[in-house]
Structure 1
Amino acid sequence: MDQHTPTAALLPPPDAQPLQDALTATSVLLEQHGYVVALYPSCLPLAHERRLHTVRSALETNRLALLKVDLPPLGIAVLVRQLRQLSVCDFGPGILASAARLLSHYVYAGALLNSVTRLDRVPVSLKSHAKSWVPGAQFGVLANPTPELVKVGGGGRLGGPAFTTRLVVAEGQLQSEWIEKTLAPQWQTQVVEETALPADSPLWWGTGKLTEFAAFLPDISTLYQLVASVRREVCTWCGIELIGDRCGFCSATLPAAGPGGDAGVPHHGAPAHHGP
């Protein structure tokens, strides 16, 4: 990440920050930036999610977007990175907030696991459950955009992106060369980078013996063109400009597009490379 990309702010859970401090910190962010787009995982504890909504309600603001994202922890980190990159472009806050839903379709998030017995976020067959009891068994699991599971060494392969990506890898308590020597070449990955394993990853994947990975579009010009290519709409409730059919700030849903309309649903081909 270059020095021009803004840093992300962390909104702590209730047991780590009193409500008044959370209100003050969020107010400062709104004063500094005008709008705040907050992403949080679907597995976030209920108390933490309630805190986020309490802050928005107490501040009586429509400038705080709370976006629940159904991605694994490393996938969410990648999505946050992409939105940070795009935040320096000429997109309004409504475009950025609704771009999260669009860009998530282009994040290939998964993990290498030693067991799937406690994996409940990706469909797992009884046969795979049985195989997970075999000593030394490993599984490649894709959670997004389409759930898949293969047994490593069994001849199967995970469906990957049809466009050039960068692969970020976060190693936990499971070491293997499968990701770098098998998965990365199959996915035609240009660059493999390493990062620390997110704290929530063992809980999300049901085991600490894992290595998490995510393939994504790293180039800001490609991200820009992808978002800019979607027809813009105006929210009928709060009046902010957006893409797609749902406002990230007030959660209002736009009327369905007519014949030939573009509701912002992406395809999975290779995005064109154009500059901002």
Structure 2
Amino acid sequence: MPTAIAVTSADLVLPPTDQQTPTAAVLQPPDAQSLDAALAETNVLLERHGYLVALYPASIPAAHERRLHTVRSVLETDRIALLKLDLPPLGIAVLARQLRQLSVCDFSAGVVASAARLLSHYVYAGALLGSVAKLDRIPVSLKAHAKSWMPGAQFAVLANPEPQLIKLGGEETLTGPEFATHMAYARGQLASEWVTGTLAPGWQVQSAHEVELPAGSPTWWGTAKMIEFAAFLPDISVLYQLVSSVRREQCHWCGIQLIGDRCGFCSAPVSPAENQLHVAGVLNRGST
């Protein structure tokens, strides 16, 4: 059975890319599920899949995060990876789907878990905002704050892989990926076709599709007047090649196989000399 992938809300489970992509489990917050029920559900996932990789936003309530760690602690298992991510909600949803795609490949659970850190660098996550007055996730200049009070002002913001903020109407553009992508976008309370009509063509996005806006997005971006977007690598063959191109190591602490600079299950770091990337040539604009 493939490694189980889990998220912390149902709106982070995007539709599968194909018939082989499994769904994700949803780990409920304490106010929606008792501890006994959470323990039983997680135990079933472990018995069925062997390992569980759970992605959750750094912005979730502290009680929900404590529940995740409590379940892992009570079950006394080293087969649960808890991956706390600073990505915007839609970026996490996109990354979770990529791990779901990889979970059916011949990768070990440790490689799937540690692949999240690698693949997050290739997710271009941002939003079109009607105001940046309450945006605190990325740096916002005083000038931009002042402009956000102007009627009709709109801002394009990139949170990942590198923060960037521009005011629409100027000559600046958001820095996009230099490889072929698809785009997911989700509408909040902002009427605009800029994401699909300007940004996607400018980034040479091959396909754009609308999805449900995650409930946590307005809070993350500081406003409900927004359209969130995330450009990503859609093709499982490209994802497989990218992950395969990284040298695999054995975690010196828990013994599980991993890639990159940190174990996804115990968070033990790998020394830089042991972490060798070989990704040149894997991605190019012509990939699909």
TM-score bracket, shorter-length normalisation: over 0.9
Q: How does 1:246-257 map to 2 (within 5 A)?
A: 246-257=262-273
Is residue 2:101 matched to residue 1:58? no
Structure 2 counterpart of 1:40: 56
Q: How does 1:121-200 map to 2 (within 5 A)?
A: 121-200=137-216
Bigger shift: 149-158 or 211-220? 149-158
TM superposition score normalised by structure 2: 0.91
Partners of 1:227 and 1:216 in 2: how far apart? 15
Instruction: Identify if the C-alpha distance between structure 1 residues 271 and 225 changes in structure 2 by more than 3 Å, giving closer, same or farther.
Output: farther
Structure 1 counterpart of 2:234: 218
The Cα offsets for residues 83-107 of structure 1, whole Å up to 9 and x where unpaired, read as: 0001110000000000000000000
Is residue 2:96 matched to residue 1:83? no
Long gaps (5+) in structure 1: none
- RMSD after superposition: 1.9
Partners of 1:227 and 1:147 in 2: how far apart? 25
Give the secondary structure class of the aligned counterpart of 1:20: helix
TM superposition score normalised by structure 1: 0.95
Identify the match of residue 117 of structure 1 among 113, 133, 158. 133
Would the aligned equivalents of 1:73 and 1:198 in 2 still touch at CA under 8 Å? Answer: yes
Equivalent residue letter for 2:60: L
Structure 2 counterpart of 1:270: 283
Is residue 2:115 matched to residue 1:102? no
Amino-acid identity (%): 68
Would the aligned equivalents of 2:242 and 2:282 in 1 still touch at CA under 8 Å? Answer: no
Long gaps (5+) in structure 2: 1-16
Structure 2 counterpart of 1:72: 88
Partners of 1:246 and 1:181 in 2: how far apart? 39
Partners of 1:27 and 1:265 in 2: how far apart? 37
Partners of 1:79 and 1:182 in 2: how far apart? 24
Equivalent residue letter for 1:45: P
Would the aligned equivalents of 2:179 and 2:285 in 1 still touch at CA under 8 Å? Answer: no
> What count of residue pairs does the alignment treat as equivalent?
272
Would the aligned equivalents of 1:162 and 1:268 in 2 still touch at CA under 8 Å? Answer: no
Would the aligned equivalents of 1:105 and 1:145 in 2 still touch at CA under 8 Å? Answer: yes
**Ranges of 4+ aligned residues in structure 1 off by more than 2 Å:** 264-275
| Cα offset, 1:136, TM superposition | 0.3
The Cα offsets for residues 139-190 of structure 1, whole Å up to 9 and x where unpaired, read as: 0000000000011111210000000100111011101111111111110111
